[in-house]
Amino acid sequence: MSADETGLGATIRSWRNRLTPAAAGLPARHGRRTSGLRREELAELAGLSVDYIVRLEQGRSTTPSAQVAGALSRALHLNRAERDHLYQLAGLRAPDDNTISEHIPPGMQRVIQRLGDTPVAVFAADWRLLWWNRSWAALLGDPATIPPDERSLVRARFPVASDRGQLATWPVTELDPEASDRAIVADLRRASARYPNDPRLTRLLRRTIDGNPRFAELWQEGAVANHTEDRKTVRHPSVGDITVNCDILTATDTDLKVVIYTTELDSEDATKLDLTRVTGTAPSRSV
């Protein structure tokens, strides 16, 4: 078997061909001639250009960055062994257990895609946003317009002087902002113990402790806990204030956090949330 059949481009193409749009969480489209993903669909899911996908598959680009490899592994629903193989084909070192994971396992992807129109997002252990659905983008603004490094709940809640981006486009307030701030800091302290040598987390903590007095004050308290639930009000520019319950589910093996926003059944908030999908933002893409 030649390298053309086993190399990076051919492998990406075979993984793309085996993944159906439905399994990837895309809407059904008529007139398809193939059961797998089109290049345009993979590009949308991975947040990459179609031209770049073409160059990868044709072998004209063979050294994607670790960030691109991670985006492709999530978009293609690769399991851990397949993800590591992708990194190796790209000449990259696969992530290990001592660094924060950005890999969303296929099982988790199947679950979050079955939550329908509920706003859902997935964050890494350091609260970097990795994935979101269209309902999340409609409620809070499309994170695709923000550079990946700035898709951080910590940077949004505890900005330093040099920060420009905001994770949420619409104003969001918590029922108890003080408790929410403390929960985020306590959760980060727990992550710092599990990933003491992760360079991204180390940089985030250093810049936030040095640049945000409020964060530094809370960090000094030394609390350790998980951030599990909250209640928020989102001021949407088209439909007004929407009160949502925020539940956070954490995968114990990866520390990935699934954030889910729900409203009370048959309430005015539920009606407004439905309206955001019509009047909100353009469909988002996976990171």
Which two tokens mark 224? 């350790």
Percent of the chain at pLDDT exceeding 70: 91
pLDDT score recorded for residue 2: 46
Q: Is residue 19 part of a domain?
A: yes
211 plus 247 within the same structural domain: yes
172 plus 205 within the same structural domain: yes
79 plus 174 within the same structural domain: no
Q: Over the stretch 110-164, which tens digit does the pLDDT of each residue have?
A: 899 889 899 999 999 999 999 999 899 999 998 888 888 889 999 999 999 887 6
| Whether 50 contacts 40, CB under 8 Å | yes
Q: What is the mean pLDDT of residues 59-76?
A: 90
pLDDT score recorded for residue 165: 61
The half-sphere exposure of 18 on its side-chain side, counting CA atoms within 13 A, is 9
Name residues whose C-beta falls within 8 Å of residue 102's C-beta, 6 or more positions apart in sequence: 70, 74, 95, 124, 128, 130
Task: Indicate if the pLDDT at residue 252 is higher than 50.
Answer: yes
pTM, two decimal places: 0.79
List Cα–Cα distances, 198 to 214, 255, 268, in angstroms. 23, 14, 44
Domain boundary among 35, 59, 89: 89
**Sorting pLDDT into bands at 50, 70 and 90, what band is 284?**
very low
**Sorting pLDDT into bands at 50, 70 and 90, what band is 4?**
low
Task: Indicate if the pLDDT at residue 226 is higher than 80.
Answer: no
CATH number assigned to the domain comprising residue 126: 3.30.450.180
- What separation, in Å, do the N-terminal and C-terminal C-alpha atoms of the chain show? 34
Task: Indicate if the pLDDT at residue 278 is higher than 80.
Answer: yes
Q: Over the stretch 198-220, which tens digit does the pLDDT of each residue have?
A: 999 999 999 999 999 999 999 99
pLDDT score recorded for residue 268: 96
Domain that holds residue 195: 106-279
Q: Dihedral (C-alpha) 244, 250, 111, 266: value to the nearest 10 degrees?
A: -20
Report how many domains make up the chain. 2
pLDDT score recorded for residue 30: 66
The span from the CA of 141 to the CA of 236, in Å, is 9
CATH number assigned to the domain comprising residue 79: 1.10.260.40
Which two tokens mark 180? 């929410």
The span from the CA of 109 to the CA of 83, in Å, is 15
47 plus 183 within the same structural domain: no
Which two tokens mark 139? 């409620």
81 plus 146 within the same structural domain: no
The span from the CA of 180 to the CA of 227, in Å, is 8
